[in-house]
A and B are shown apart, each in its own frame.
Chain A
Amino acid sequence: AQTVTQSQPEMSVQEAETVTLSCTYDTSESDYYLFWYKQPPSRQMILVIRQEAYKQQNATENRFSVNFQKAAKSFSLKISDSQLGDAAMYFCAYRSANYQLIWGAGTKLIIKP
């Protein structure tokens, strides 16, 4: 069975600086998708970025980028120029061909003004 591990329960970063959130996963599949979701205090689950496993190029969305290391089964999220609005829980999720999303336990990101 697939598992997703986020080893950092909480991270803090100074406003305008860069922070990296870690995620590792375990799977025997070769074709899958990886996601980072943001959950602010409103609890709405917001998709931040996604990565297809067959793509070697790391996904980027504005200030958000990933470091996808398929062999190491690592999928970290880098947030550049951190803003106060980035404060939230961040969840890493794995999706295989069977559509179920497997979620990590989350990392709470604190932005210091």
Chain B
Amino acid sequence: NAGVMQNPRHLVRRRGQEARLRCSPMKGHSHVYWYRQLPEEGLKFMVYLQKENIIDESGMPKERFSAEFPKEGPSILRIQQVVRGDSAAYFCASSPREQNYEQYFGPGTRLTVT
């Protein structure tokens, strides 16, 4: 059973470009969570999605950031017009249902903005 997949593992973007981060949850999981980890810090919650629905985006910056989890395909975290402060590791986790207390993490995408 494949785990949570994230790609790319490393992404380099120049300031002003767009970054697209993909997350494929574990098979049978319909709940996806995105977290951001700045250097030397713990993870910070960004957004929680179910298929075709954003359930909680309270941790997302109000501008430039968006997320989706379509009926078919991976969840996408999109960052428009990236700035140096967006450089971080972005982790995706999935669970089979909201009430399940365990979230399974992907390997993360390290975004570097030059």
List the interface of chain A (C-beta within 8 A of B).
Answer: 4, 33, 37, 42-47, 50, 52, 91, 93, 95, 98-106
Contacts and interface: CB of A to CB of B under 8 A. Distances in A.
**What is the predominant secondary structure among interface residues of chain B facing chain A?**
strand
Contacts of B48: 99-100
Contacts of B95: 99
Contacts of A106: 40-42
Interface stretch (B13-21, B22-30, B69-77, B101-109): B101-109
Nearest to B31: A99
Contacts of A104: 42
Given A100-B48, A100-B56, A101-B35, A43 B42 contact: no
Interface residues of B, number: 24
B54 interface: no
B89 interface: yes
Given A45-B91, A45-B108, A105 B42 contact: yes
